[in-house]
């Protein structure tokens, strides 16, 4: 029998026994609230977001899940949990699995899964409003208080994170908390802190959350995941934070057996799906020796295991012929990425397409990529099919192309690691900027050309001034009105003006910047006011 502040978990079956005295709406049964939705503008970043989602395979991560459940059910001495681990170790899959289990038993307050390069999902500005919106649904009694705060001061969503968190999350929850009774705590999941673009603000957010628990008794727990990056570690391991944080490191939980189960499950599926083509392949496939070698190569990295399976099953050759190639590669993701890229056709075209996908401000579909790069859709699709083991190629041309994992971006943007496949970010941002200026009649180009201009300038080594000036002049004469009108509908014009001003400041600081380019940008900024 669970106590009044506990949930029980049968790890093998993944079953919670809920003991809340009252019931909250589940996230997949959300009632639309136009007022709060309009005022908070939440983004699609919750555990049940659109798009591909990874979670733990049934029967894996049992000891880790049991440990997290004990933290959920334990006392409130350490209400924050930080699960850390290296890239590709499965942190987000654990978050996803736990968020699903908590929501199924009315213990989920809110969730936000950061995604590097995911536009609003990579910006901390959308984090607290999105969490507040979800809290208003999972804890309905807070809704009138959040509404009152926003109607009293609609500018809260543009205020400092500390003020936002206090007014939109802490105060509404405290207002509905009965301090005289024991309340089963709800859980907030914030996944992949390291994939947030705003490093300083994310570090500040961690401090804000830790401070909130030192000052208040909240019926709420917060579950963080991230790589161990210095700006995060300093805050999460600060002496003032240690008293409220429970630390979990994925490296302390041996994943070899879980990765073995993953390989067995996926390779058995591949065999069954290709049984006519593989009927002469000796069973078991793979052999015990090969399976041991695969597990050893993975070295605890689920993204390596996932990428290797995609490579074997990409359809370019028979699976039992691809497996020896994967086994012959050196351990780690870099050799696997190199193998995939080396065997893909269309070298320079592929490099241009992948470089664009890596650096886009927001994901584009195959059709939109074709428009931006001025290739036909079939050409883009044919190029991408050669690397479908490392990129998510959608089932139709109007859905976005995405990375399986951010480690591909890290690999391709490090010249010592990727060698001839290296993608130079400033140079590629310039190419995308020029593509945008040529195609200003597209929504992506209108909204994001300034972003790519800014990213090109950051390293301080601009080139191609004359050609860029010509493109900007042509843009200003032919597409300016369309650009401004699109911004008025899709984005705050003030944000773009700020970006233009930053670009002008940076251009003025560059000795090599031509006066023609500087004057053209001044003219565009003046007209946009």
Between residues 59 and 448, which one has the greater pLDDT? 59
Beta carbons within 8 Å of 37's beta carbon, 6+ residues apart: 133
| C-beta neighbour count of 70 within 10 angstroms | 12
pLDDT-based confidence at 201, cuts 50/70/90? Answer: very high
pLDDT of residue 257: 94
Q: Decide if pLDDT at 165 tops 70.
A: yes
How far is the C-alpha of 86 from the C-alpha of 84, rounded, in Å? 7
For the cut 80, the answer to whether the pLDDT of residue 226 exceeds it is yes
Q: What is the pLDDT of residue 99?
A: 97
Q: What are phi and psi of 392, to 5 degrees?
A: -85, 105
Distance CA 135, CA 23 (A): 14
- Domain residue limits, the chain: 8-252, 256-331, 341-423, 426-529
As a whole number of angstroms, the distance between CA 438 and CA 76 comes to 57
Report whether 339 contacts 311 (CB < 8 A). yes
> 88-102: per-residue pLDDT in tens?
889 999 999 999 999
Tokens 């705050």, residue located:
492
H/E element, 468? helix 465-478
* CA–CA gap between residue 207 and residue 214 (Å, rounded): 11
Three-state DSSP class for 391?
strand
pLDDT for the residue numbered 10: 36
Q: State mean pLDDT over 279-287.
A: 93
pLDDT in tens, 426-440: 889 988 888 887 776
Cα–Cα distance for residue pair 456/466, rounded to 1 Å: 15
pLDDT band at 8 (very low <50, low <70, confident <90, very high): very low
Strand blocks (E) in 170-244: 186-191, 220-226
Q: Which of 22-26, 221-225, 445-449 has the lowest mean pLDDT?
A: 22-26
Quick one: DSSP state of residue 365?
B
- The SS3 call for residue 370 is helix
- pLDDT band with cut points at 50, 70 and 90 for residue 106: very high
Residues 457 and 248: their CA atoms lie apart, in Å, by 40
CATH of domain 341-423: 1.10.10
341-423 and 8-252 share a CATH fold = no
Residue 421 has pLDDT above 80, yes or no: yes
Element (H, E) at 287: none
Pairing label, strands 15-17, 8-10: antiparallel
**Least-confidence region, from 282-286, 407-411, 442-446:** 442-446
Of the two residues 316 and 479, the one the predictor is more confident about is 316
Average pLDDT, the chain: 84
The CA distance from 451 to 436, in Å, is 11
Q: Which of 164, 163, 237, 239 is nearest to 203 (CA)?
A: 237
| Residue 337 pLDDT class (50, 70, 90 cuts) | confident
Q: Distance between CA atoms of 275 and 280, rounded to whole angstroms?
A: 9
Q: Is 190 helix (H, G, I), strand (E, B) or coil?
A: strand
pTM of the model: 0.73
pLDDT in tens, 458-505: 665 556 566 777 777 777 666 666 666 666 555 555 566 777 777 777
Q: Is the pLDDT reported for residue 50 higher than 60?
A: yes
Q: What angle do CA 62, 67, 71 make, to 5 degrees?
A: 145
- pLDDT (0 to 100) of residue 15: 34
Structure tokens at 327: 């086994």
Q: Is the pLDDT of residue 512 over 50?
A: yes
Indicate whether 419 pLDDT > 50.
Answer: yes
pLDDT over 90 (residue 146):
yes
Q: Which residues contact 195 (CB under 8 A, 6 or more apart)?
A: 114, 115, 116, 118, 122, 406
- Name the fold adopted by 8-252: Rossmann fold (3.40.50)
Q: Give residue for tokens 């006392």.
A: 75
Kindly tell me the sign of the dihedral angle through the C-alpha atoms of 341, 346, 347, 348.
negative
Tell me what pLDDT residue 285 has.
95
Question: In this predicted structure, which of 49-53, 198-202, 319-323, 487-491 has the lowest mean pLDDT?
Answer: 487-491
Q: Using alpha carbons, list the distances in angstroms from residue 125 to 69, 109, 153, 225, 529.
A: 30, 19, 17, 19, 24
Task: Say if residues 358 and 409 touch (Cβ distance below 8 Å).
Answer: yes
> Are 36 and 143 in contact, with CB atoms under 8 Å apart?
yes
Q: What pLDDT, on a 0 to 100 scale, did the predictor assign at position 179?
A: 64
pLDDT at 27: 34
Instruction: Indicate the pairing of strand 402-403 with strand 391-392.
Output: antiparallel
**β partners of residue 81:** 223, 246
Reply yes or no on whether the pLDDT at 307 is more than 60: yes
Q: In this model, does residue 319 exceed pLDDT 90?
A: yes
Instruction: Tell whether the model's pLDDT for residue 128 goes beyond 90.
Output: yes
């Amino acid at each position: 029998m669970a106590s009044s502040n506990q949930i029980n978990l049968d790890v093998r079956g993944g079953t919670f026994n809920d003991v809340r005295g009252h019931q909250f709406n589940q996230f997949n049964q959300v009632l639309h609230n136009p007022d709060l939705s309009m005022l908070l503008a939440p983004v699609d970043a919750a555990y049940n977001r659109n798009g591909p989602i990874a979670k733990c395979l049934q029967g894996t991560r049992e000891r880790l899940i049991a440990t997290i459940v004990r933290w959920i059910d334990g006392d409130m001495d350490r209400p924050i949990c930080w699960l850390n681990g290296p890239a590709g170790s499965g942190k987000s899959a654990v978050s996803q699995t736990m968020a699903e289990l908590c929501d199924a038993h009315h213990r989920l307050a809110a969730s936000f899964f950061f995604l590097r390069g995911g536009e609003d999902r990579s910006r901390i500005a959308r984090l607290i409003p999105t969490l507040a919106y979800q809290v208003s649904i999972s804890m309905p009694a807070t809704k009138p208080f959040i509404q009152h705060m926003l109607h009293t001061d609609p500018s809260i969503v543009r205020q400092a994170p500390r003020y936002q968190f206090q007014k939109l999350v802490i105060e509404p929850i405290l207002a509905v908390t009965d301090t005289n009774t024991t309340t089963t705590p709800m859980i907030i999941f914030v996944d992949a802190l390291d994939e947030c673009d705003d490093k300083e603000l994310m570090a500040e957010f961690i401090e804000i959350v830790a401070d909130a628990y030192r000052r208040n008794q909240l019926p709420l727990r917060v579950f963080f995941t991230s790589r161990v990056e210095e700006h995060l570690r300093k805050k999460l391991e600060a002496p003032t934070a240690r008293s409220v944080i429970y630390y979990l490191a994925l490296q302390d939980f041996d994943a070899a057996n879980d990765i073995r189960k993953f390989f067995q499950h996926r390779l058995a599926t591949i065999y069954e799906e290709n049984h006519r083509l593989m009927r002469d392949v000796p069973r078991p496939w793979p052999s015990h020796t090969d399976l041991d070698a695969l597990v050893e190569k993975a070295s605890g990295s689920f993204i390596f295991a996932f990428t290797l399976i995609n490579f074997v099953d990409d359809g370019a050759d028979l699976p039992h012929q691809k497996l020896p190639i994967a086994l012959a590669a050196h351990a780690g993701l870099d050799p696997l990425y190199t193998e995939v890229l080396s065997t893909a056709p269309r070298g320079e075209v592929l490099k241009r397409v992948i470089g664009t996908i890596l650096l886009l401000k927001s994901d584009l579909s195959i059709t939109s990529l074709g428009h931006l790069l001025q290739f036909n859709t079939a050409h883009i699709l044919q190029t991408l099919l050669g690397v479908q083991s490392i990129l998510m190629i959608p089932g139709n041309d109007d859905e976005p192309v995405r990375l399986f994992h951010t480690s591909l971006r890290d690999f391709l943007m490090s010249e010592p690691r990727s060698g001839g496949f290296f993608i130079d970010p400033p140079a590629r941002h310039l190419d995308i900027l020029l593509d945008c200026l040529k195609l200003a009649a597209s929504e992506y180009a209108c909204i994001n050309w300034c972003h790519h201009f800014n990213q090109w300038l950051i390293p301080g080594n601009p080139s191609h001034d004359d050609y860029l000036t010509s493109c900007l002049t042509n843009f200003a004469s032919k597409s300016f009105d369309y650009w401004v009108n699109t911004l008025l509908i899709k984005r705050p014009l003030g944000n773009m003006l700020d970006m233009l001003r930053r670009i002008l400041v940076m251009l003025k600081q560059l000795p090599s910047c031509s006066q023609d380019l500087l004057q053209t940008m001044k003219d565009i900024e003046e007209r946009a006011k």
